Structure 1
């Protein structure tokens, strides 16, 4: 049932990954999962994703927030500091390293038994 509260969306940057037999088989066995692809014209979303990873790693992970207000306050404080001291993202992996990692992930999930 696409659209139910038990459905799961998976955002995928690499359109071709869902074409492999292993991925097709896994998706058929798990109908609650639906792939959504990032359009090639929206590569800027990779930077947004990376920025949220930075927020998670630097501020949210292992944080203690006893209320939504405390969480919002911490995020706003981090944002203010980020905007005050901006720094560029520097990609450290080559395209081949990234593709190798994606391939390894696809192999891992195809053998997971889920």
Structure 2
């Protein structure tokens, strides 16, 4: 009878130990799963932030390039307008000079008659 009691006590202790081990394992597994999920969520959040930063940096570069392009076009247009104005003024002066010389020649012809 004593052996049976000891055996039952040992079985009871073993059952309790097994029960505790299972509970601890379930808790550890749960904590590990939660930790993994938290790390995964943090990693995903970090990737989203990095992607958004890259998108923002890209848009800023596009805007900067667009501004530089528009400035270059304005500068070129201004330079072109200035060159055209210089050429027009030069041609006007050449025409006026030519007409003035023709006029002088005509006057001299008339005066010499």
| TM, length-normalised to structure 1 | 0.19
Larger helix percent: 2
Q: Which has the higher contact order (CA 8 A, sep 6+)?
A: 1
Bigger radius of gyration: 2
